[in-house]
Amino acid sequence: MAELTTLARPYAKAAFEHALQAKSLEAWASALVTAAAVAQDDKVQALLSSPSFTSSAKAATFISLCTEELDESQQNFLTVLSENNRLPLLPEIASLFAAFKANYEKAVDVQVSSAYEIDDAVQEKLAASLSKKLDRQVSLHAEVDTSLIGGAVVRAGDTVIDLSVKGKLAQLADAMIH
């Protein structure tokens, strides 16, 4: 995984910088998500790994599969990826691009798993509190996970706050073993 990220990062950064300069972050994000979905298809993966197609033929076929959603610069980007045999990296490139975009926009998606349904008022208070704490615009997604017994688990990027009964019991068990 780290190797894929290392290979994908310069392409994602270049795409992000171009999209930022062209003021088309949303269009690029959408195009990369579409291209990543196409790249993950089994038949497309077989095409990309086939030595009987040239990189330009692979690029042309790949671009035709991405619908008419791609502008000229996005098509050129996919052609460059094809020339460097990097089209299979598109899912990782799209993920990194989304992270660069979220960081630029000072936004973060927060996943809250709780043992019980969280009402809208509590969700709004939690989102406001997390926005202040993280200095980011928070997009909160709540889900119910009854295995937590009680409490909640909050995930914001690499940050995880486990306030669940299940998590506390696991910490207690770990402390008793060690």
pLDDT classification of 2: cutoffs 50, 70, 90:
low
For 16, the domain range is 2-102
Given 102, 123, 147, which residue is the final one in a domain? Answer: 102
CA–CA separation, 69 and 71 (whole Å): 7
Single out the residue of 78, 109, 103 nearest to residue 15, CA to CA: 78
pLDDT at 164 over 60: yes
Provide the CATH number for the domain around residue 18.
1.10.520.20
Same domain as 96, residue 114: no
Cβ neighbours of residue 136 closer than 8 Å, sequence gap 6 or more:
106, 107, 108
Reported as a single tens digit per residue, the pLDDT across 74-104 is 999 999 999 999 999 999 999 999 999 988 8
Provide the CATH number for the domain around residue 171.
3.40.30
Look at the chain and report how many structural domains it folds into: 2
Same domain as 17, residue 95: yes
pTM: 0.67
Residue-level pLDDT at 178: 79
